[in-house]
Amino acid sequence: MIREFIFRIRRAESPGYRALKKFARFVITFNLPLPRFALGFYRMLYSLHDFLLKAVRWVLIVFFREPAFRSRCVSAGKRLLVARLPYIVGHARIYIGDDVNIFGQLDIVSGASFEEPRLVLKDRVDVGHRVSFLVNKEIVIEEDVNIAGRVEFRDSDAHPRDAAQRIADIRPDPGEIKPIRVCRYAWIGTRATILKGVTIGEGAIVSAQSVVVTDVPPYSVVMGNPARVVVKGLKPVGESPAGSPVPEP
């Protein structure tokens, strides 16, 4: 009955329903008048609201999320930031270095193909929002790697290649599971997917939405599906623009 009444208002089939629709639109779009003298008051409320949200977030991070996640890791270094409590399924052994920042939702999933799958995030790794690791053997992220939001790492296809084995719900053969390594200084762009057996070279850049199925050379840029090299010869860390080593201080 109520759904039919709302449907008639939306269709405005008669003058009465048209009036009701007009009134509903007025209510939905109504804004409280804001005289100039009230601006300071509402600005203060906005700042207070922002402060309270940040304070609650800080308390959750310091007294719950960070220690809870640290307790799940085999080892975790100093100054670990955990904006949200990671979602972990399976028995992956997690190793975290110093100054690692996890800025949002993080999913870590492992199956039963190996007894000790390993996820390693080394020093100063930044992990964006909604990043996922499917780790059945090993995924290693080296120092100073930046991972943007919605990136996926998958060291297996999650199902066997053989159709009969998939139908029988058989786990993938261990030979089909291959480790992933992201070397130091690399940058993984938004929504990129890094598939099994891939090594991303030092200082390389993976462009947004790329699907990486083969190794990426050091100090190069790849993009596309499948990802291909589009830029080579980026300046290595520790070298001047001309290519000569930077003098020691």
The stretch 153-176 carries a mean pLDDT of 82
pLDDT tops 50 at residue 201: yes
pLDDT tops 70 at residue 155: yes
Within 10 A of 247 (CB to CB), how many other CB atoms are there? 6
pLDDT tops 50 at residue 243: no
What pLDDT score was predicted for residue 240?
57
pTM of the model: 0.81
The stretch 76-100 carries a mean pLDDT of 97
Query: Could you tell me the two tokens for 235?
Result: 């300046």
Separation between Cα atoms, residue 128 and residue 151, nearest integer Å: 8
- Tell me if the bond preceding 226 is cis, omega within 30° of 0: yes
Mean pLDDT, the chain, integer: 91
3-state SS, the chain, equals: CHHHHHHHHHHCCCHHHHHHHHHHHHHHCCCCCCCHHHHHHHHHHHHHHHHHHHHHHHHHHHHHHHHHHHHHCCEECCCCEECCCCEEECCCEEEECCCCEECCCEEEECCCCCCCCEEEECCCCEECCCEEEECCCEEEECCCCEECCCCEEECCCCCCCCHHHHHCCCCCCHHHCCCEEECCCCEECCCCEECCCCEECCCCEECCCCEECCCECCCCEEECCCCEEEECCCCCCCECCCCCECCCC
**Contact predicate 75/95, CB 8 Å:** yes
What pLDDT score was predicted for residue 241?
53
Q: Which of 118-127, 139-148, 172-181, 211-220 has the lowest mean pLDDT?
A: 172-181
What pLDDT score was predicted for residue 226?
96
What pLDDT score was predicted for residue 17?
84
Q: Which of 143-152, 163-172, 209-218 has the lowest mean pLDDT?
A: 163-172
The stretch 166-191 carries a mean pLDDT of 90
Amino acid identity of 175? G
All domains of the chain, ordered by start, with CATH?
43-228 (2.160.10.10)
The percent of residues in the chain predicted with pLDDT above 90, rounded, is 69
